[in-house]
């Protein structure tokens, strides 16, 4: 959006509409999924309220759980929050007797792929611009 000639209100409206459409798609195709806003807690001495830094959509309604979306603001990436959420999901899936967790990642996103590989997700196939990965307990 930085290179766009749109005004800030136009950019904000466009991004809000894109989020609304994507969220509608996710909740339509995964009606039992959880949608979580990820917040950063304030520094205890700072006095600020928690603020949103990302989101996590996960569908735990089937034997193989689905990580639908995991994303963070650019300044919040590589701080371990995504890995922490996925590690929590892995422990929860194992405790619930789930078959595992699957997800799709863009083939052009090597940082996310590296994270998933570190968490023992295995490549299960590719379709177009996405790589299918599965973790099994």
Token code pair at residue 70: 């995991």
Contacts of residue 118, defined as CB under 8 A and 6 or more positions apart, other chains included, come to: 83
Closest listed residue to residue 53, CA positions, set 77, 86, 35: 77
pLDDT digits (tens, 9 = 90+) for 113-130: 999 999 999 999 999 999
Q: How confident is the model at residue 40 (pLDDT cuts 50, 70, 90)?
A: confident
Give 49-91 pLDDT, tens digit per residue.
Answer: 888 899 999 999 999 999 999 999 888 888 889 999 999 999 9
What is the value of pTM for the model shown? 0.85
Kindly report the length of the chain.
137
Select from 52, 59, 53 the least CA-distant residue to 26.
Answer: 59
């Amino acid at each position: 959006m930085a290179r766009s000639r749109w005004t800030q209100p136009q950019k904000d409206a466009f991004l809000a509409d894109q989020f609304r459409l994507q969220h509608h798609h996710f909740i339509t195709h995964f009606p039992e999924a959880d949608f979580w806003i990820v917040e950063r807690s304030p520094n205890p001495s700072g006095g600020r309220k928690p603020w949103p830094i990302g989101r996590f959509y996960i569908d735990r309604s089937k034997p193989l759980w689905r990580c639908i979306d995991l994303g963070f603001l650019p300044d919040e990436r590589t701080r371990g929050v995504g890995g922490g959420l996925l590690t929590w999901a892995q422990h929860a899936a194992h405790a619930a007797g789930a078959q595992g967790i699957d997800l799709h990642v863009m083939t052009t996103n090597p940082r996310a792929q590296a994270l998933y590989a570190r968490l023992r997700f295995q490549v299960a196939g590719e379709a177009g611009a996405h790589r299918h990965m599965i973790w099994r307990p």
